[in-house]
Amino acid sequence: MSCVASRCTELTIKVYLPCIDEEAGDIMAFENDTVRELLEKYRRIWAIRHASSVLGWDMEVNMPKEGIMERSVAEGELSVMSHEFLLDPSFVTLVDKAKSIDALSEEERGVVRVLSRDIKISSSFPPEFIRELSETTSRATAAWKEAKEKNDYNKFAPWLDRIMDLGKKAADYLGYDAYPYDALLDMFEEGLTTADVEKMFGTIESELKPLLDKILSEDKVPKEHPLEKLRYNTEAMQKVNLEILKMFGFPLGQRSRIDVSAHPFTTEFGVKDVRITTRYEGFDFKRSILSTVHEYGHALYELQQNEEFMFTPIAGGVSLGIHESQSRFWENIVGRSMEFAELIYPILKKHVPEIGKYSAEDIYWYFNTVRPDLIRTEADVVTYNFHILVRFKIEKIMINEGIKASELPALWDDEMEKMLGIRPKTYSEGILQDIHWAHGTIGYFPTYSIGTLLSAQLAAHMERDVGSIGERVAAREFGVIQSWLREKIHRYGSIYPPKELLKRSIGEELNPKYFVDYVKKKYL
Amino acid sequence: MSCVASRCTELTIKVYLPCIDEEAGDIMAFENDTVRELLEKYRRIWAIRHASSVLGWDMEVNMPKEGIMERSVAEGELSVMSHEFLLDPSFVTLVDKAKSIDALSEEERGVVRVLSRDIKISSSFPPEFIRELSETTSRATAAWKEAKEKNDYNKFAPWLDRIMDLGKKAADYLGYDAYPYDALLDMFEEGLTTADVEKMFGTIESELKPLLDKILSEDKVPKEHPLEKLRYNTEAMQKVNLEILKMFGFPLGQRSRIDVSAHPFTTEFGVKDVRITTRYEGFDFKRSILSTVHEYGHALYELQQNEEFMFTPIAGGVSLGIHESQSRFWENIVGRSMEFAELIYPILKKHVPEIGKYSAEDIYWYFNTVRPDLIRTEADVVTYNFHILVRFKIEKIMINEGIKASELPALWDDEMEKMLGIRPKTYSEGILQDIHWAHGTIGYFPTYSIGTLLSAQLAAHMERDVGSIGERVAAREFGVIQSWLREKIHRYGSIYPPKELLKRSIGEELNPKYFVDYVKKKYL
C-alpha cells in the first residue's frame, strides 16, 4: 500500500490522500452477496475500532502524561463516528435484509447476529441519556476517588443514587423479560439472566462456602507465604515472564507483544496483532507471573481465531465470561498447578537467585494460599467468588428492587462478614474499593465468576479428551492444551452466543460443581 | 471522560457507545461563528488524523511483524474517511462561506487557507487516478526493491516511466501557472516554484561548489575520522541521548517520548504529545546523536505551538521546508558546533569510556568531516545539497520536459561526477538508491535543501538578536534559542504560508548565501 508522500519523510506530511489497497483482505468464508456487502461496509467500523484499540493501548502503555486531553477528544470523536456508521440507515437496512435470508452459513448468521445485537444496544439509548450517563459517570468517578481517599462515603453516595437510577433507565431502554437487571447482565454477557447468576451463586454458597470454611479451619493450606515479601528486580522478573511466554509459544514480535501497565490487560488489534501487559511492583512476584499467564489466556483466544474472520465482527472472543474462562484456565489450571511450579522453578532461580532458598513446592503453595481478604483484587482463587457474590447480591437489589445508596454499606459489610468472616473497618476497604459503579458499570462483575467457574469445567472436559493437564504441563506439551482450546472454543470466534457455544463445545451449560470439585481435589 | 464499560476491564469490550465529553477542547482563539462551526466539524477530521498518526508511529516503533496487513487496511479506511469528511459538501460550503468573510482574524484566515488548500488538493484527483497511483506505486516499490538488490535498472525503468506519466497527470489535475513541476513542488511546500528552486541551486552551484572544491583540495578538514569505527553499546548511547535531551529541556514523559526505529522520525499527535525516534547501529555514533538532535528540532517546532490552536488545522508546522529548517538548525548549528562537542564530551566519556582516548576537538571534527559520497543519506552538511541538486535537475526534466527512464542513469552519473567528482559504478549506488520515486514522490527532495539553507539564515538572524549561539550553547542557555524560535517561527503554527512566514519573522525570503557564509566561516 502506498499513497503520495505518506511514508517517505521524517515528518508526517500534511497532504492527505486516501490510500486504496485492492489486494488486502478479501474475505473467503462469506459467500452470500448481502453479507459480503455488509462486511464491506462494516470495514470502516472495524477500522475505527482497530484505531480506538491502538489509541487505548498506547494510552496505558506509552502516552506522555499531558497527552490525555487530546487523546480523550480523539477517542470520543472516533466512538461517535463508529456509532453513526453502525446506525446509518443504509447499514441497518442491510443487516435487516440479511437477517431475513434463510440460506446463510453459520458464520454468516454469526455476523448478522453480532451486528444486530450491536445495533440494538447502540440504538437503545437516546443521545440525551448517553450525554447524561457520560457526564454523571465522569463526575461520579472524580467523587469516588475523593471519597475513597478520604474514606468519606457521603461524598460518593449521591452519585451512586444517580447511577442506580441511570442503570434502571438503561435497563428500560434495553428491554427485558423477567428483571431489569437481566438487561444489564446481557449487555456484558449475551443471554445471561438474573436467574442464571442466582443459580450459579446458589451452588457457590451451598457447596463452596462449607469447603472454604473447612480449608480455613484446617492448617494444611497456608494463609500467607514468606515469598510474598521477597523483593525482586523488575528486569529479572521480566526475563522470567519472557521465558514462560516463550515456553507457551507466544508469538512475541511476530503477532504479539508484552508491555508494562499499571493494570494488566489484553487488547487485540485484529487476528495478527494481540498484545498483553503485566505489572512489576517489586514484591509478591506471583502477581506479575500470574498476571502474565492470565493475560496470555486472553491473548491465545484472540490469536487462535479463524483467520478468515479477519475484518469481520465475528473475529474475537464472544463474551467477557468466555474470555475470562480462557484467562482463568491458564492462570488457575495451568499456572497454579504443581507441575507449573516445578517447571518455572529453575527459571526463577536463574534470574532471582534468592528464590533458591525455597523449593518448587514452596512456589506452589505461595501461588495457592487461601486467605479471606477485604480487597477483591487481593483475593485467592477460592475466596474470589465470594467477593463477586456480594457484589451481585447488591447489584441485583440496586436494579431489580430499588434501594438507597445510604443503605448499601451496611449490606456490604454484613455480606462480607457472612461470606468471608471479616468485616471492613472503613468504606475504602469496603464498598468504595472498586471503580466499576462510579464508571456506571453494573452487571459486569458476574462475568468474573463465570470465567473462574467455567475454567474448571473446561479443564475437566479437556482431561477426558487428552488426559492429565498436569502431565502435559510437566512435559511442556502446551500445544495439546492450545489445540483443544482452539478446537472447542477459539476457532468459533463470535459465531455462536455463549450458551450455544458451550452446548456445542462441551455439550452442557455452565456448571459450578466442576469448580467445587477442583477446589476439593486441590485443597482437601 | 467515561462511557459504559469502556476502560474497566482486562479486555476490550464489545459494547460500543459514543463517549461524549462536553468540557474538553473549547477553542478560545476563534470568535467568528462560521469559523467556530467549521472547527467543530473539523474536529472529527482532526481525530482521524490523530488516530492515523498514532497508528503510523506504532507501526514503526512497536508493531509485531504480522500486524502489517490489518494495520494497512485500517490506515486505508481511515484515510478514505478523512478524505470524505473533508470533501463533504456541507463542509466545503462552510469553508467557502468563511473564505468570503472579510472580518476574520489572522488565525481564522489561517484556518480557512489551510482547509481550502487541503480541499483543493484532495479534490484534484479523480478516484480512478488515486487508484492507479496507489497500485502503480505499490508495484513500483516492489520492483524498485528487487532492482536495487540485483543492481538491475531495467526491472525498475518501465515503472519509473509510468510514475513520470502519473506525475505529469497529477500536475495537470492540480493546475499550475508556469511549469507542471510547480504543481508538484507546491504540494510539498506551499507556494514553491521551479523558478525558486532554480534560483536557490544557482547560488549553490556558483558559490558553494567552489567552496567545496577548496575544502576538498586542502587538508584542513578531515574526510574521515577513526571515531566512525568505534563500536558502542546501545544502552550506553541511549543514556547519552537522554542526557542531551534533558539538557535541552525536552519534556520526556510529560509531553514527549523518544523511541527506536529503523529510520528516525518525529510525529505529533497534537500539541501535547510529540514523539521522536532515533537509531542505534552500534557504530558511527554521530548518526544516533545527530539524529536525536535533528528530530528534537522537529519536535520543538510542534511543542512550541500556541496551545489555543489545539484541534485546529493551523496547529503544527506549516511546511516541510520550514520544518526541516528547525531540525537542521539543531543538528547543524547547535549539534555540529564546537561548543556542543565540548558540552557532550564528558557525557560521552561517562557512558562510553573508550571515547576518553579522544578529545572534544576530535568529536567536533568527527561531526564535521566533509567527503563526497555516492549515497545521499551518508552525505555531510556541505555535500548534501549537491545530492539534492542532482535530483532536482532530474525531476525538473522528468516533469517539465519529458524524458525516458532509460536516459536517466547516464544523466545521474554525469551530474554526480560534475558536482562531487565521483561516479557511481552500480545503479544501486546511483539512481536506484532512494525509494522516493518508487513511492511516486516527485517534488519532495528540494524541501531538504530549503531546510538546510534556511537553518543557516535563521541562525544569522538569531545571532543579531541574541548574540553568539555558540556562547549560548556553551552556557547551556538553550532557553534563549528556544524562545527566539518560538517567537519567530513556532508560535505561528500554520497561520501563514512559508514565504509570508519568513517575511514576517526575518523580513526576507530564503537566501542561500547565509549557508555559503556558514560553510566559509566553519571550514576556511
| pLDDT, tens digit, 9 for 90 and up, residues A177-210 | 999 999 999 999 999 999 999 999 999 999 999 9
**Does A236 share its domain with A350?**
yes
Residue B83 is placed in which grid cell?
Answer: 478524505
Nearest C-alpha neighbor of B511 from the set B206, B297, B203 = B203
By DSSP bridging, strand B274-278 and strand B266-268 are antiparallel
Residue to mutate among A45, A73, A275, with most B CBs inside 10 A, is: A73
Residue A26 is predicted with a pLDDT of 52
Element (H, E) at B95: helix B89-99
What is B243-279 written as a DSSP string? HHHHHHT--BTTTEEEEE-SS--EEESSTT-EEEEE-
pLDDT at B95 over 90: yes
* Active-site hit among A295, A302, A324, A395: A295
Q: Are the beta carbons of B254 and A65 separated by less than 8 Å?
A: yes
CA separation for the pair B16, B357 (Å, rounded)? 61
**Residue in chain A nearest B125 by alpha carbon:** A17
pLDDT at B5 over 70: no
Q: Are the beta carbons of A79 and B18 separated by less than 8 Å?
A: yes
- Listed residues B120, B150, B180: the one ending a domain: B150
B10 → closest Cβ in A78, A131, A265: A265
CA separation for the pair A173, A189 (Å, rounded)? 17
Residue B323 φ/ψ, nearest 5 degrees = -60, -45
For range B370-378, the mean pLDDT: 95
The 10s digit of each residue's pLDDT in A386-412 is 999 999 999 999 999 989 999 999 999
Question: B202 lies in a domain?
Answer: no
pLDDT at A22 over 50: no
The 10s digit of each residue's pLDDT in B192-222 is 999 999 999 999 999 999 999 999 999 899 9
Residue A5 is predicted with a pLDDT of 32
Nearest C-alpha neighbor of A374 from the set A331, A435, A415, A324 = A415
Nearest C-alpha neighbor of A276 from the set A301, A252, A251, A295 = A295
Do A74 and B51 touch, CB atoms closer than 8 A?
yes
CA separation for the pair B150, B432 (Å, rounded)? 11
CA separation for the pair A393, A516 (Å, rounded)? 20
B120-140 b/e with 16+ CB inside 10 Å = b?
A: ebbebbeeeebebbbbbbbeb
**Residue in chain A nearest B86 by alpha carbon:** A16
Residue B27 is predicted with a pLDDT of 52
What is B113-178 written as a DSSP string? HHHHHHHHHHHHS-HHHHHHHHHHHHHHHHHHHHHHHHT-GGGTHHHHHHHHHHHHHHHHHH--SS
Percent residues over pLDDT 70 in chain B: 95
**Residue in chain B nearest A141 by alpha carbon:** B2
CA separation for the pair A1, B75 (Å, rounded)? 10
Q: Are the beta carbons of A3 and B79 separated by less than 8 Å?
A: yes
HSE on the CB side for A54, CA within 13 Å? 31
**Does B343 share its domain with B483?**
yes
Mean pLDDT of chain A: 94
**Does A120 share its domain with A230?**
no
What is A141-164 written as a DSSP string? HHHHHHHHHHT-GGGTHHHHHHHH
CA separation for the pair B160, A2 (Å, rounded)? 15
Confidence of residue A28 (pLDDT cuts 50, 70, 90): low
Q: Are the beta carbons of B5 and A49 separated by less than 8 Å?
A: no
Question: A351 lies in a domain?
Answer: yes
Contacts of B326 (CB under 8 A, 6+ apart): B297, B298, B300, B301, B317, B451, B455, B485, B489, B490
**Does A243 share its domain with A114?**
no
In chain B, residues with a C-beta closer than 8 Å to the C-beta of A114 are 14
**Residue in chain A nearest B262 by alpha carbon:** A10
B76 → closest Cβ in A20, A78, A441: A20
Confidence of residue B28 (pLDDT cuts 50, 70, 90): low
Nearest C-alpha neighbor of B295 from the set B340, B270, B330, B321 = B330
Residue A221 is placed in which grid cell?
Answer: 493450606
A67 → closest Cβ in B15, B47, B270: B270
Q: Smallest CA–CA separation between B283 and chain A, in Å?
A: 22
By DSSP bridging, strand B256-260 and strand B274-278 are parallel
pLDDT at B439 over 80: yes
**Residue in chain B nearest A320 by alpha carbon:** B13
**Residue in chain A nearest B13 by alpha carbon:** A320
Compute chain A's Rg from CA coordinates. Answer: 24
B133 → closest Cβ in A4, A21, A52: A4
Question: A23 lies in a domain?
Answer: no
The distance from CA A51 to its chain's CA centroid, rounded to whole angstroms, is: 20
| pTM of the predicted structure, to 2 decimals | 0.93
Q: Are the beta carbons of B16 and A251 separated by less than 8 Å?
A: no
Residue to mutate among B6, B7, B10, with most A CBs inside 10 A, is: B10
Confidence of residue B29 (pLDDT cuts 50, 70, 90): confident
pLDDT at A3 over 80: no
B50 → closest Cβ in A14, A70, A141: A70
A64 → closest Cβ in B48, B256, B444: B256
**Does A482 share its domain with A356?**
yes
Question: B449 lies in a domain?
Answer: no
Q: Are the beta carbons of B320 and A9 separated by less than 8 Å?
A: yes
Element (H, E) at A278: strand A274-278
Q: Are the beta carbons of B14 and A327 separated by less than 8 Å?
A: no
Q: How many domains does chain A have?
A: 2
Do B179 and B194 touch, CB atoms closer than 8 A?
yes
Q: Are the beta carbons of B15 and A50 separated by less than 8 Å?
A: no
Confidence of residue A511 (pLDDT cuts 50, 70, 90): very high
Residue A14 is predicted with a pLDDT of 36
pLDDT at A170 over 50: yes
In chain A, residues with a C-beta closer than 8 Å to the C-beta of B24 are 69, 72-73, 76
**Does A341 share its domain with A477?**
yes
Do B130 and B440 touch, CB atoms closer than 8 A?
no
Percent residues over pLDDT 90 in chain A: 93
The 10s digit of each residue's pLDDT in B394-435 is 999 999 998 999 999 999 999 999 999 999 999 999 999 999
Residue B104 is predicted with a pLDDT of 96
Question: B494 lies in a domain?
Answer: yes
Residue A29 is predicted with a pLDDT of 75
The 10s digit of each residue's pLDDT in A444-503 is 999 999 999 999 999 999 999 999 999 999 999 999 999 999 999 999 999 999 999 999
Give the structural domain span for B86: 33-150
**Three-state SS annotation for A370-418:** CCCCCCHHHCCHHHHHHHHHHHHHHHHHHHHHCCCHHHHHHHHHHHHHH
**Residue in chain A nearest B270 by alpha carbon:** A70
**Does B134 share its domain with B244?**
no
Q: Are the beta carbons of B73 and A311 separated by less than 8 Å?
A: yes
Question: B508 lies in a domain?
Answer: no
For range A108-125, the mean pLDDT: 97
A79 → closest Cβ in B16, B188, B272: B16
CA separation for the pair B84, A196 (Å, rounded)? 47
**Does A340 share its domain with A484?**
yes
Contacts of A97 (CB under 8 A, 6+ apart): A34
What is A465-503 written as a DSSP string? HH--HHHHHHTT-HHHHHHHHHHHTGGGTTSS-HHHHHH
Q: Smallest CA–CA separation between A77 and chain B, in Å?
A: 6
Question: A297 lies in a domain?
Answer: yes
Compute chain B's Rg from CA coordinates. Answer: 24
In chain B, residues with a C-beta closer than 8 Å to the C-beta of A52 are 51
Residue B380 is predicted with a pLDDT of 96
**Residue in chain B nearest A70 by alpha carbon:** B270
- Listed residues A73, A97, A124: the one ending a domain: A124
- How many Cβ contacts (< 8 angstroms) between chains A and B? 354
pLDDT at B12 over 80: no
Q: Are the beta carbons of A298 and B71 separated by less than 8 Å?
A: no
Q: Smallest CA–CA separation between A508 and chain B, in Å?
A: 25
CA separation for the pair A139, A209 (Å, rounded)? 38
Q: Are the beta carbons of A66 and B272 separated by less than 8 Å?
A: yes
Percent residues over pLDDT 90 in chain B: 93
Q: Tell me the angle at which helices B320-328 and B286-303 cross, rounded to the nearest 10 degrees.
A: 130
CA separation for the pair A387, A279 (Å, rounded)? 23
What is B36-92 written as a DSSP string? HHHHHHHHHHHHHHHHHHHHHHHHHHT--GGGHHHHHHHHHHHHHHHHHHHT-HHHH
In chain A, residues with a C-beta closer than 8 Å to the C-beta of B70 are 25, 50, 269-273, 310-311
Q: Smallest CA–CA separation between B399 and chain A, in Å?
A: 16
Burial of B181 (0-12, 13-18, 19+ CB in 10 A): buried
- Listed residues A124, A145, A175: the one ending a domain: A124
Confidence of residue B26 (pLDDT cuts 50, 70, 90): low
A47 → closest Cβ in B78, B138, B275: B78
The amino acid at residue B88 is: D
Q: Are the beta carbons of A440 and B14 separated by less than 8 Å?
A: no
Angstrom distances, CA of residue A209 to CA of A203, A522, B277: 9, 15, 55
Q: Are the beta carbons of B1 and A134 separated by less than 8 Å?
A: yes
Q: Are the beta carbons of B8 and A439 separated by less than 8 Å?
A: yes
Q: Break chain B down into helix, strand, coil percent, rounded to 5.
A: 65, 5, 30
Question: B69 lies in a domain?
Answer: yes
For range A59-63, the mean pLDDT: 96
The 10s digit of each residue's pLDDT in B42-71 is 999 999 999 999 999 999 999 999 999 999
pLDDT at A4 over 60: no
In chain B, residues with a C-beta closer than 8 Å to the C-beta of A314 are none
Q: Smallest CA–CA separation between A119 and chain B, in Å?
A: 10
CA separation for the pair A200, B218 (Å, rounded)? 88
Residue B219 is predicted with a pLDDT of 87
Could you tell me the end-to-end alpha-carbon distance of chain A, in angstroms, rounded to an integer?
60
**Does B277 share its domain with B143?**
no
Q: Tell me the angle at which helices A478-488 and A286-303 cross, rounded to the nearest 10 degrees.
A: 50
In chain B, residues with a C-beta closer than 8 Å to the C-beta of A134 are 1-3, 19-21
CA separation for the pair A3, A8 (Å, rounded)? 10
Mean pLDDT of chain B: 94
Nearest C-alpha neighbor of B190 from the set B322, B329, B298 = B322
Nearest C-alpha neighbor of A233 from the set A276, A292, A288 = A288
